[in-house]
Amino acid sequence: MNVIHTHYTYRVTWSTEDNEYLGLCVEFPSLSWLAETQEQALSGITQLVLDVIVDMQQSGEEKQIPTPLAERKYSGEFRVRIPSEVHRALAMQAAEQRISLNRLVSARLTA
């Protein structure tokens, strides 16, 4: 498996609790990196992810290395369970607007 660590989803945010910038990686939610600047937080979390990937590869855990979100394939379909009353209300709204339930819910999700 040839994973490029820079393809992961990184985020830098301010931590009021730590009074520093916090670097995070969506695909590795247990990892974080604190630093004085945004650039250092991003550099730190990126390097930490690389170190973890290398360690996983060396210990034979390649199959557990997550695929970057940007490289995953999405079908555009997923199932959501909702109460029957909500389903009924949405179906009625879709009918009143003369659109499919799928179009109504999709529009609501993207709003």
Give pTM, 2 decimals. Answer: 0.75
pLDDT in tens, 60-76: 999 999 999 999 999 99
Q: What pLDDT is stored for residue 111 in this prediction?
A: 87
For the stretch 16-35, pLDDT in tens is: 999 999 999 999 999 999 99
Q: How far is CA 61 from the centre of its chain?
A: 22
Average pLDDT of the residues of the chain = 95
* Euclidean distance between CA atoms 86 and 71, whole angstroms: 34
Where on the phi/psi map is residue 68: left (φ > 0), alpha (ψ -120 to 50), or beta? Answer: beta
Q: What is the pLDDT of residue 19?
A: 98
